[in-house]
Amino acid sequence: MITDLKDKISTVQATLTVASTIIGVGILTLPRTVTEAMGTPDAWMAVLLGGMIAMAAGYVLIKLNEKFPEKTFYQYSELIVGRFLGRIFSLLLIIHFALFAGFEVRMLAELVRTYLLHKTPIELIVITFLGAGIEFTSGVSQRIKTSCKGH
């Protein structure tokens, strides 16, 4: 039970955990995938270029966050490109992240199955990861425990 504020996961901690998981899965799978798709041994250049593009996009996002410190990305995207285009862009970004999260969960489950749980069905591993993630981020158990104390 989380009784103290220091026992909670902060936004920065959750962000770093997700980022390190994405990077870890990517490092283990991306070079092979890119080499198979390109059919040449110089696929490392595509990985390097993709990393540089991602870093440039990250830099732009950091600068935008500094310019609009009290607003979320979805709020200041409407200010920059207009309400209609901002909402369309936000919707596309949400869809992208949902699909990307599904891909990452699947890849992580494949890695866990390969190295740790050889005979476990992949669906069970995915459901376990998603359930743990929902539990950690939503604090469902804390709300249930708090509501049960009153009765």
CA 35-30-40 angle, to 5 degrees, is 10
- Write out pLDDT tens, residues 72-122: 888 888 888 989 999 998 999 889 888 888 888 888 888 888 888 888 898
Euclidean distance between CA atoms 35 and 81, whole angstroms: 37
CA 18-2-134 angle, to 5 degrees, is 35
The structure's pTM equals 0.59
Residue 31's domain comprises 5-149
- Write out pLDDT tens, residues 30-67: 777 777 777 777 777 777 887 788 889 888 888 888 88
Residue 127's alpha-carbon distances to 19, 108, 123, 134, 149, in angstroms, are: 20, 12, 6, 10, 29
- pLDDT average, residue stretch 2-29: 68
pLDDT band at 1 (very low <50, low <70, confident <90, very high): very low
8 A C-beta contact, residue 90 and residue 103: no
* pLDDT score, position 7: 60
Tokens 């798709």 belong to: 37
* pLDDT score, position 95: 93
Number of domains in the chain: 1
* pLDDT score, position 58: 84
Q: Is the dihedral of CA 29, 33, 48, 42 positive or negative?
A: positive
